[in-house]
Amino acid sequence: METIETVRARALARLEKMASEAGAKATDRYWQNGPFNVQRWAERAFHLAIGRVKETEPNAGETPKGYLGRIAEKVSSSRDDGPDEDDEGWFSSAIDEACTIIRGAQL
């Protein structure tokens, strides 16, 4: 049986990979949308999710699945916290993807 620390580490590794990929794309002019850089918004969303995973300690007796679900809900609650200029939903889509990654960290 997997421990919370195992699934937490897996979630962090996957989120960090996504943040890194978004950061790399942000340096490519292809991703410039007028004066905006949509991949920076996605990167920001993944970093927000990373922060939530790092700051959220497991509750006593909590299962790995319950822990991941609780974090995913916390991340999801930030869905509307993206930039006002993000009319195509890059930030919120990255938040949704982060939630999927977090919930899927348990094998």
Q: What is the mean pLDDT of residues 43-50?
A: 97
pLDDT at 88: 87
How many domains does the chain divide into? 1
pTM value is 0.93
C-alpha 60: how far from its chain's center? 24
Distance CA 29, CA 1 (A): 45
CA 100/CA 87 separation, integer angstroms: 22
Query: CA of 58: how far to CAs of 64, 77, 88, in Å?
Result: 9, 18, 34
Read off the pLDDT band of 33 (50, 70, 90): low
Q: Domain span at residue 52?
A: 4-103
Query: Which regions of the chain does DSSP assign to beta strands (E)?
Result: 32-33, 36-37
